[in-house]
A and B are shown apart, each in its own frame.
Chain A
């Protein structure tokens, strides 16, 4: 007996997920903050919809009664702020994942290269050696500091708009020269970096000012993706 292809694929993905879960969890593990935000968000949304359906049924049967007005306070006043809070909590956190960045068709070759152990690009080297633990795209493409996240979100909104309208051209190019500060934020204080003969002290001002790009020696960061590669 042979299983349909779709079912085989589904079973394989479930098995892969189980393998991921086989990693031992810390004692007393009850999920991440994001797991809780998502779970509570779903619970509040379902509660709001159930209450609205219940209220609508009562409204049609008996009209607007004082008891019903009190009931409606929950789905119309109390739950919406909670849903918005958990929505932002889960949505903003999820938008940092590589899955979110790779969800647009145009980004798939970059994601494939990132996760390819044989690739020698800078992004793939960081990924396979786990120089960055999680949110790999976001970590390297976000400025540090208080407004880094806000700027990244605004840029992300622009990316979604351009992807929707098709207002981009291939090969994709970074909109501004990549700032060395993002590299130096992690590498700048490491002994490996400081003691390397390739990084003499007299060259540091050039690196800090951006006159010399880290990518001049350590590139390319990503593969060059053409229209043909996207098909």
Chain B
């Protein structure tokens, strides 16, 4: 099993959103200023939230597929 095609799209999006959100948060921690704070509040935070939601949907779909829900 090779290649990212095997990885569910939702999971890939979730990981990408989490990575981007984490990097934007890192910018705030390294240099706290008005722009990094705004980027954190309006980009990083929603991205991290989106990552959690997408992961939860993926888990829910997996559980439904396995008939555990």
Q: Does A pair with B?
A: yes
Binding site for B on A (CB under 8 A): 38, 41-42, 45-46, 48-49, 52, 55-56, 59-64, 69, 72-73, 75-77, 79-80, 83-84, 86-87, 90-92, 94-95, 99-100, 103-104, 156-157, 159-160, 163
Chain A contact residues, majority secondary structure: helix
Q: How far is the CB of A95 from chain B (nearest CB, A)?
A: 6
- Quick check: A42 and B26 within 8 Å, CB to CB? yes
- Quick check: B40 and A87 within 8 Å, CB to CB? yes
Bound: A201/B40 CA distance, A: 49
CB closest chain-B residue, reference A83:
B25
Q: List B contacts of A156 (CB < 8 A).
A: 34
User: Can you report 17 residue pairs joining A to B where beta carbons are below 8 Å apart?
Assistant: A45-B22, A45-B25, A49-B26, A59-B7, A63-B1, A64-B7, A64-B11, A76-B51, A76-B52, A77-B52, A84-B48, A86-B29, A87-B45, A90-B32, A91-B28, A91-B32, A99-B33
- Quick check: A87 and B44 within 8 Å, CB to CB? yes
- Quick check: B32 and A94 within 8 Å, CB to CB? yes
Q: How far is the CB of B32 from chain A (nearest CB, A)?
A: 3
- Quick check: B52 and A83 within 8 Å, CB to CB? no
Bound: A104/B62 CA distance, A: 49
- Quick check: A100 and B15 within 8 Å, CB to CB? no
Binding site for A on B (CB under 8 A): 1-4, 6-8, 11, 14-15, 18-19, 21-23, 25-26, 28-30, 32-38, 40-41, 44-45, 48-49, 51-52, 55-56, 59, 62
Q: How far is the CB of A5 from chain B (nearest CB, A)?
A: 23
CB closest chain-B residue, reference A91:
B37
Bound: A227/B26 CA distance, A: 35
Bound: A218/B12 CA distance, A: 61
